[in-house]
């Protein structure tokens, strides 16, 4: 496959849409905005070459982040279909062997890989093999509190309230604030981390999670290590978003109402929460069987 940059591939594709396919100006503008937005996201993840766009690390999280931020499903579907069309074009051109968006669907988004969740035992295994205390606590916050990766990395000391045993999320999506109670494991780990394990800095930072040089931890750093650890320990890769899925699904399996789960996740609608929940065919059958009793 060619080492073509994402920027060049998008430029060529947009030119093809305009000259050969003769798309309307409004359609061209929509394609251009969507593709350049995706390019910017990949730039933030240090992805320059088209061939380095990955299904698990980039394509599924692209869809899930929009769902997570309460975009309408029609909007998400439009963006995903644009990416599918672009990647299919890239395959035809011989730039990549297969499309990383081929399995990314939106309608009833319980589709393959990203509907996967991990059990509490699997989470504990990942935590045991976390490379350092910072990543351990970030992984734990995803699995035990269901926070978005952006929410975790933007946490400041003032947001960790040990007196009331909760994590306060301020000015989240839609300026909605919420408080998430801490599990005993999370509370004890955060206390140890903030007192002992957090990197010692020459110039203090308000952020809870920082690199040894004082910089705020970035999402691609977290997902890179989480993917490596899960590949090694679980034989499949996951992202921080799947930790959030798993938190929601575990609560559902314990009988917690979807309304409460939605509130903990910070969703404005339970319809968004339903997209997170991994409901098996067996669970569906068990539900219907209740009518037979």
Fold classification of 116-288 (topology level): hpI Integrase; Chain A (1.10.443)
pLDDT value at residue 290? 54
Mean pLDDT for the stretch of residues 151-167: 95
Fold classification of 6-113 (topology level): DNA polymerase; domain 1 (1.10.150)
**Does the pLDDT of residue 285 top 90, yes or no?**
no
Higher pLDDT, 16 or 62: 16
- Binned at pLDDT 50, 70 and 90, residue 170 comes out as confident
pLDDT value at residue 114? 46
pLDDT in tens, 130-140: 999 999 999 99
Distance CA 285, CA 22 (A): 49
pLDDT in tens, 200-237: 998 899 999 999 999 999 888 898 899 899 999 998 88
> What is the average pLDDT value for the chain, to the nearest integer?
86
Q: Based on the number of CB atoms within 10 Å of its own CB, is 257 exposed (0-12), middle (13-18) or buried (19 or more)? A: exposed
Residues in the chain, overall count: 293
Domain ranges of the chain: 6-113, 116-288
Quick check: 114 and 100 in contact, CB under 8 A? no
């Amino acid at each position: 496959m060619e080492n073509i940059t994402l920027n060049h591939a998008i430029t060529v594709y947009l030119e093809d849409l305009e000259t050969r396919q003769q798309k309307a100006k409004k359609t061209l503008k929509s394609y251009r905005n969507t593709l350049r937005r995706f390019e910017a996201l990949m730039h933030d993840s240090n992805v320059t070459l088209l061939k380095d766009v990955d299904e698990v690390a980039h394509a599924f999280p692209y869809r899930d982040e929009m769902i997570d931020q309460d975009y309408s499903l029609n909007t998400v579907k439009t963006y995903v279909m644009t990416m599918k069309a672009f990647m299919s074009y890239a395959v035809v051109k011989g730039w990549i062997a297969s499309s990383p968006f081929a399995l990314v669907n939106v309608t009833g988004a319980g589709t393959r890989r990203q509907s996967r969740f991990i059990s509490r035992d699997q989470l504990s295994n990942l935590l045991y093999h976390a490379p350092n205390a910072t990543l351990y606590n970030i992984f734990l916050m995803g699995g035990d509190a269901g926070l978005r990766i952006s929410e975790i990395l933007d946490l400041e000391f003032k947001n960790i309230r040990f007196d009331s045993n909760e994590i306060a999320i301020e000015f989240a999506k839609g300026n909605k604030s919420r408080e998430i109670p801490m599990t005993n494991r999370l509370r004890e780990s955060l206390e140890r981390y903030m007192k002992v394990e957090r990197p010692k800095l020459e110039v203090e930072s308000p952020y809870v999670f920082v690199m040894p040089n004082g910089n705020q931890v970035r999402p691609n750093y977290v997902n890179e290590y989480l993917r490596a650890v899960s590949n090694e320990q679980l034989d499949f890769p996951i992202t921080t978003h799947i930790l959030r899925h798993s938190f929601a699904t575990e609560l559902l399996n314990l009988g917690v109402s979807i309304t409460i789960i939605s509130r903990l996740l910070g969703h404005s609608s339970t319809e968004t929460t339903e997209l997170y929940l991994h409901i098996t065919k067996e669970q569906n059958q068990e539900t219907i069987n209740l009518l037979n009793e």
